[in-house]
Each structure stands twice: as C-alpha cells, then as structure tokens.
C-alpha cells in the first residue's frame, strides 16, 4: 500500500518514559519527562490542545543526539496539577518552567523548542531570561508583534492586530468569550475528547493523514476531564477582559532562533513566516516544512529532530 505521508519515527508506548513531578508556584506540582540526563538541556514546550505527549516522537532521537530532554506539562494540563486559585496564563506558564528547569533541576543554560501556546511562552522566557535561553526553535504560533515597526507591517499588507488568526480560529472566541456555555455543552468525558479531536482532525490544523485512530486517542485522553480542558482556555479569555497577574514579554526577540512553518495549518495565518522576519532579527529561516500543519513536532518529526540536532549540536559536550 502506498504511504500517504513521509514515514515518521516510531511512536513510543504511552508509558515509555518515567513521569516526574516537582512543586512550583501556587502549591502545585508540574509533571515532566526527563531523559538523557547529562546532555545539553532542551526544553520542549507544548501548546493547546496538547500535552507533553505531542513530543513523544522527538524525545528518544534527541537523547540519542546527546541532549537532556525535558518535557513538562503546563499547569492544568496532562499530569500537572490544577491551580487551586484558577491561575492559568502565559506568564505563569513561563514562571513554572523557569522554576522547574532552573531552580529545581538546576540548569543554567537551555535550548527551547516550542509551538502554539508553548511558542509564546518560549519567547517570554527568552526575553525575560536572555542569559538562560541559549537558542530556540519556534513554529506555528502567534508571531511576536513589534509595536514600533508599524510601517514595516503596513508596507507589506500585514494587520496591526498582534493576535491574528486563520480561518479555523473561531474556537478562540468560544473559549475566550463564551467559555461558560461551552463548558455546559461539553458535559461528558466523551464530548470533551470529541471537541479536542476536532482540532487534530476536521478543523484543518494538521496536514491530512497525520494522525490515526490510536493517535487521536493518545492525544485526547488527557482532556476527558472538563476541568483540564477548560484550564487551557484561560489565555484566550485575556482577549475578552480576563486580567493577567503577570504580563509576558512577547515582543521582538533577540535570541538566536530557528523559525519553522508548517503551511497546511489553517489556524495560524499564512503570514506567520513574514511576521517572524521582523520579530526575530537573529534568526535562521523561516524554513517551510512541506506536508505539515500545526503539530510540526509530530507531523514531521523526521524533519524537526535532525534540524534540532544540527541547530543545538555545538552546545553538546
């Protein structure tokens, strides 16, 4: 039978990696995978609606390339704790990761790989802690907006809205403005799973045939609990008036960055790559990854893994 997509690294079993946990802010535990201890640390940051599982095809190849790979669940996601005070936002995600990797594990320098919400968190970490974040790989998310470059945007026909979204971006309105009604609709674990599956399947985020039935089940199972699903909506509510306790620094980023873009994504606008050209002055790319959509680390692990090994390779040893 003809392969419908480029072959990908094998997907490890659901229990292939030991899950650790550590207490961070808000008396809450952050769950994480840590493999390849002793190599140069790479922190892989997931987005929404993802957990650390979206990185399952990347961990072993990056460990084999000499890296220590740290893959956390953001607060409220996966195996991490729920906030007792309903505190979920970008700046707190970044604080949790910094606390875990710098304070608890003890790394003074790291590389980051991130997309979606995780990409925004990575920019905040790089801007807040430029001596800590050595380099990063950034893909398929909201590009940093450079407020003092309005003429640059308008000359290229780009919106000055720092939070544009593509044709499948209406979910942001429901999760941001109408979250209470949405919670009422998703009144069973099965409906929660179906809602998340739509993002991987029919909402056109991913390239066709990127996920099979087993993959859908693997990615959606952590969201059967509506509390965990709804926790991930908090950052979208900031657009509609939810206050932020910590304001993230998500403007121009001087950190050395490789920018990747999966063009089959229909939630991130197709001007993503152009926006990144002004946002990351010290960059490699943007590089377009064919037959790839939003979930680049899973869909084209065969591309991301060797690119990461090359980009961070001189930091090993």
Residue extents of the structural domains in the chain: 19-165+244-315
| Residues 45 and 53: beta-carbon distance below 8 Å | no
pLDDT tens string 89-106: 999 999 999 999 999 999
- pLDDT of the residue at 1: 39
Please list the alpha-helical segments (H only) found in 99-140: 116-128
pLDDT tens string 80-89: 999 999 999 9
140 has a pLDDT exceeding 90: yes
- pLDDT of the residue at 317: 80
pLDDT tens string 60-86: 999 999 999 999 999 999 999 999 999
Burial of 210 (0-12, 13-18, 19+ CB in 10 A): buried
Q: What percentage of residues in the chain have a pLDDT greater than 90?
A: 87
Q: Is 288 left (phi over 0), alpha (psi -120 to 50) or beta?
A: beta
170 has a pLDDT exceeding 90: no
Among 62, 61, 51, CA closest to 10: 61
Q: Is 195 left (phi over 0), alpha (psi -120 to 50) or beta?
A: alpha
Q: Which residues pair with 245 in a beta bridge?
A: none
| Residues 97 and 71: beta-carbon distance below 8 Å | no
Q: Which residues pair with 42 in a beta bridge?
A: 69, 111
| Residues 62 and 33: beta-carbon distance below 8 Å | no
- pLDDT of the residue at 3: 66
Q: Report how far residue 273's alpha carbon sits from residue 296's, in angstroms, rounded to the nearest whole number.
A: 14
Q: Report how far residue 185's alpha carbon sits from residue 198's, in angstroms, rounded to the nearest whole number.
A: 15
Count CB neighbours of 126 within 10 A: 28
Q: Each residue of 243-275: b (16+ CB within 10 Å) or e?
A: eeeeebbbbbbebbbbbbbbbbbbbbbebbbbb
Burial of 179 (0-12, 13-18, 19+ CB in 10 A): middle
Classify domain 19-165+244-315 at the CATH superfamily level.
Alpha/Beta hydrolase fold, catalytic domain (3.40.50.1820)
pLDDT tens string 17-30: 999 999 998 789 99
Across the chain, what does the average pLDDT equal? Answer: 95
- pLDDT of the residue at 5: 85
- pLDDT of the residue at 190: 98
CA dist list (Å): 169 to 112, 202, 298, 310? 26, 13, 21, 33
| Residues 105 and 36: beta-carbon distance below 8 Å | no
Strands 256-261 and 283-288, sheet pairing: parallel
- pLDDT of the residue at 118: 98
How large is the average pLDDT for residues 39-68? 98
2 has a pLDDT exceeding 50: no
User: What is the pTM for the complete model shown?
Assistant: 0.97
How large is the average pLDDT for residues 11-21? 97
3-state secondary structure 129-178: CCCCEEEEEEECCCCCCCHHHHHHHHHCCCCCCCCCCCCCCCHHHHHHHC
184 has a pLDDT exceeding 60: yes
Strands 28-35 and 67-72, sheet pairing: antiparallel
How large is the average pLDDT for residues 250-267? 96
């Amino acid at each position: 039978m003809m392969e419908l997509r480029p072959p990908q690294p094998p997907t490890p079993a659901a229990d292939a990696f030991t899950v650790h946990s550590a207490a961070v802010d808000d008396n809450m535990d952050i769950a994480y995978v840590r493999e390849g201890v002793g190599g140069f640390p790479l922190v892989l940051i997931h987005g929404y609606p993802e957990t650390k599982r979206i990185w399952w095809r990347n961990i072993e190849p990056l460990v084999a390339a000499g890296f220590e790979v740290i893959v956390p669940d953001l607060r409220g996601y996966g195996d991490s704790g729920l906030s007792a005070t309903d505190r979920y936002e970008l700046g707190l995600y970044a604080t949790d990761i910094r606390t875990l990797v710098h304070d608890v594990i003890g790394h003074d320098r790291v590389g980051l790989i991130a997309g979606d919400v995780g990409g925004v968190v990575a920019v905040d970490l790089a801007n807040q802690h430029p001596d800590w974040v050595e380099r990063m790989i950034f893909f398929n998310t909201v590009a940093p907006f450079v407020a003092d470059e309005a003429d640059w945007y308008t000359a290229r026909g780009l919106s000055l809205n720092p939070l544009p979204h593509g044709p499948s971006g209406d979910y942001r309105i429901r999760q941001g403005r109408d979250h209470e009604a949405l919670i009422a609709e998703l009144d069973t674990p099965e409906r929660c799973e179906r809602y998340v599956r739509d993002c991987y399947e029919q909402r056109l985020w991913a390239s066709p045939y990127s996920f099979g039935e087993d993959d859908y089940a693997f990615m959606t199972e952590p969201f059967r609990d509506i509390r965990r699903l709804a926790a991930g909506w908090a950052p979208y509510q900031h657009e509609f008036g939810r206050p932020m306790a910590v304001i993230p620094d998500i403007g121009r980023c001087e950190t050395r960055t490789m920018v990747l873009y999966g063009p089959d994504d229909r939630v991130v606008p197709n001007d993503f790559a152009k926006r990144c050209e002004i946002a990351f002055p010290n960059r490699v790319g943007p590089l377009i990854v064919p037959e790839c959509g939003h979930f680049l680390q899973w869909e084209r692990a065969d591309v991301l893994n060797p690119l990461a090994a090359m980009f961070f390779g001189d930091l090993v040893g």
